[in-house]
Amino acid sequence: MKSYKILKYTSAHYQLWNNFVAKAKNATFLFHRDFMEYHSDRFQDFSLLVFDEKENLKAIVPANISENKLYSHQGLTYGGIVIDSNLKLDKFIIIYAEILKFLCENGIEKVLFKLLPSIYSTQPSDELNYALFISDAKLMRRDSLVTIDLKNPFKIDANRIEGVKRAEKLGLKISNDFNFTSFWNEVLIPNLEVKHEAKPVHTLEEIQKLKDKFPNNIQQFNVYENEKLVAGTTLFIDKKTVHVQYISAIGDKNQHGALDYLFHHLITIVYADFAYFDFGISNENQGKNINKGLQYWKETFGARTICQDFYEVETQNYSKLNQVFI
The pLDDT of residue 251: 79
Task: Assign residue 60 the CATH number of its domain.
Answer: 3.40.630.30
Rounded to an integer, what distance in angstroms lies between the CA atom of residue 311 and that of residue 47?
Answer: 18
Q: Whole-angstrom distance between the N-terminal and C-terminal Cα of the chain?
A: 14
pLDDT at 183: 97
Distances (CA, A) of 187 to 231, 240, 255: 7, 29, 15
pLDDT in tens, 108-164: 999 999 999 999 999 999 999 999 999 999 999 999 999 999 999 999 999 999 999
Query: Residue 49 falls within a domain, yes or no?
Result: yes
Residues 6+ apart with CB under 8 A from 134: 93, 320, 321, 324
Does residue 252 lie in a domain region?
Answer: yes
Let me know whether 64 and 164 are in one domain.
no
Considering the domain architecture, whether residues 269 and 226 belong to the same structural domain is answered as: yes
Could you give the CA distance from residue 85 to residue 26 in angstroms, rounded to a whole number? 9
Assess if residue 44 is contained within a domain.
Answer: yes
How many angstroms separate the Cα of 31 from the Cα of each of 7, 62, 71, 93? 17, 7, 14, 22
User: Do 117 and 198 share a domain, yes or no?
Assistant: no
Mean pLDDT within 255-268? 95
Q: Do 95 and 167 lie in a common domain? A: no
* Total number of domains in the chain: 2
- Residues 138, 9, single domain; the answer is yes
Query: Quick check: 75 pLDDT over 80?
Result: yes
Looking at the domain assignment, is residue 281 inside a domain?
A: no
Whether 298 is in a domain gets the answer no
Do 134 and 166 share a domain, yes or no?
no
Q: With 70 as the cut, is the pLDDT of residue 253 above it?
A: no
Residues 180 and 111 in one domain: no
Beta bridge partners of 171: none
| Residue 107: exposure state from Cβ atoms within 10 A (0-12, 13-18, ≥19) | exposed
Q: pTM, whole model, 2 decimals?
A: 0.94
Residue 223 bridge partners (DSSP): 174, 231
Residue 83 shares a structural domain with residue 161: no
Residue 234 belongs to some domain of the structure: yes
Same domain, 117 and 207: no
Does residue 168 lie within any of the structural domains? yes
User: Which range of residues forms the domain containing residue 259?
Assistant: 152-274
159 and 79: one domain? Answer: no
Question: Coil, helix or strand for 278?
Answer: strand
Same domain, 137 and 156: no
Summarised one tens digit per residue, pLDDT across range 81-117 is 999 999 999 999 999 999 999 999 999 999 999 999 9
Residues 6+ apart with CB under 8 A from 188: 200, 232, 246, 248
Classify residue 282: in a domain, yes or no. no
Separation CA 80–CA 116 (nearest Å): 7
Residues 27 and 135 in one domain: yes
Decide if pLDDT at 195 tops 90.
no
Task: Report whether pLDDT(41) > 90.
Answer: no
Helix, strand, coil tally for the chain in percent (to 5): 35, 30, 35
Q: What is the DSSP string of 205-250?
A: HHHHHHHHH-TTTEEEEEEEETTEEEEEEEEEE-SSEEEEEEEEES
Kindly report, residue by residue over 270-303, the tens digit of the pLDDT. Answer: 999 999 999 999 999 999 999 999 999 999 999 9
Residue 210 has what pLDDT? 97
